[in-house]
Amino acid sequence: MPARHDHHERTIIAPAIIAGVGVHTGQRVRLAIRPAAPGVGIVFVRTDITDRDNRIPVSGDAVIDARLNTMIENAAGVRLSTIEHLMAAFCALGISNAVVEVDGPELPILDGSALQFVQLLDRAGFRRQATPVRYIEILEPIRITDGDKSAALLPCDRYEMRFEIDFASAVIGNQVVDFVVDEDTFRSDIMAARTFGFAHEVEALRQAGLARGGSLENAVVIDGDEILNPGGLRMEREFVKHKALDAIGDLYVLGAPLLGRYEGYKAGHAVNNLLVRALLANPQSWRETVRVPELAQVG
């Protein structure tokens, strides 16, 4: 395995294949992650669609729906849902380039966290590439407020994240996490945190065509002040850590890791995407830079 954090792009060595159920569609899908050349970025391919362009390059503009997951779409109208957990794994493990083939409309939810995606990528192995990583360096604060939810990107010489949630349920309550977004911290504290939901919302979600594949196998389910999962929680503050995991994936649609501090309060996919779009709409607030010593002056 190449040395971590040497500021060069990375891909995987061998294809990585897994199958599972989409949390919203309930549809079984097969996923294959393949190596990609430097500069390709993250590209999803809907292999079940053959009558039009089925490639969906990830970008901030490609996100078209961010209500309960992050959905992307290409110019031909081909869509793919629930990319955020895999995108978080890509970001934390430094994967700049990969082609992800999926034979359905949604990525598999697996266990509701990024754990199995990280394990899948570990088995595939990592290849260092010659191209330096382009970082997005935050130069001026960008803030988004939506009701009682908010998110911000602030200047910082590394990638930091603070997330706070506040729920009436005593099981969750107020939780805060504040950490440096790097591979070690993601592996030890963040990647295994599962998505969560409330039992009283499940029927309404299913009536809306969502959560059809959700179960205690892939989500923490709360009923009043009780956790229904037999094993309980995996870790302290699992709820807020999963929200941070989501945010890492949501921000990686920018196509590059951040040099900046993200601060989120009750933020979800929709607020995160508003923040991404606000950043892109204010080019004076950021710049691309590299951190390879001999090239850093050029950045």
Tell me how crowded residue 126 is: count the other CB atoms within 10 A of its CB.
Answer: 18
For this structure, is 242 an active site residue?
no
For residues 262 and 162, the answer to whether their CB atoms sit within 8 Å is yes
Report CA-CA distances (Å) from 229 to 108, 129, 155, 214, 217.
Answer: 20, 42, 40, 13, 8
Query: What sign does the dihedral 290-10-56-53 (CA atoms) show?
Result: positive
Instruction: Check 8, 85, 242, 269 and give the catalytic one.
Output: 269
HSE of 22, CA atoms in CB hemisphere, 13 A: 24
Q: Nearest 5°: phi and psi at 260?
A: 175, 175
Measuring CA to CA, how many Å separate 41 from each of 34, 87, 96, 99, 145? 12, 11, 6, 8, 30
**What is the C-alpha separation between 54 and 48, in angstroms, rounded?**
8
CA dihedral 274, 275, 281, 283 (to 10 degrees): -170
Strands 220-223 and 196-198: parallel
C-alpha to C-alpha distance for 207 and 145, rounded to whole angstroms: 29
Residues designated as active site:
269
